[in-house]
Amino acid sequence: LRASELAAIRVGDLDVTTGDLFIVAGKGDKPRQLRLGVRARKVARRYWLRHRQSIGEDGPFFLGRGNV
């Protein structure tokens, strides 16, 4: 997973339960799918529950100062 792909993850691109992640525009603008490992899945789920769940199902997965 490239840093630019990580920053571009939208809420709908990641299933925090299964760890399935759909990269819409990867290297060469090619879509691809991958699965997060157990540890990364736990961290993503914890982040989701603490910071994203109450905000809604739309928008970027990771919040920055401009989208809080």
Backbone φ, ψ for residue 20 (5° rounding): -70, 130
Each residue's pLDDT tens digit, 6-61:
888 888 888 888 889 998 876 677 888 999 999 998 998 888 888 776 666 678 88
| Strands (DSSP E) found in 1-68 | 20-23, 32-35
For residue 5, pLDDT over 90 is answered with: no
pTM attached to this predicted model: 0.69
| Chain-centre distance for alpha carbon 21 | 7
What lies within 8 Å, CB to CB, of 21 at 6+ separation is 1, 9, 13, 14, 15, 33, 34, 35, 36
Judging by beta carbons within 10 Å of its beta carbon (0-12, 13-18, 19+), is residue 62 exposed, middle or buried? Answer: middle
The confidence score (pLDDT) of residue 35 equals 92
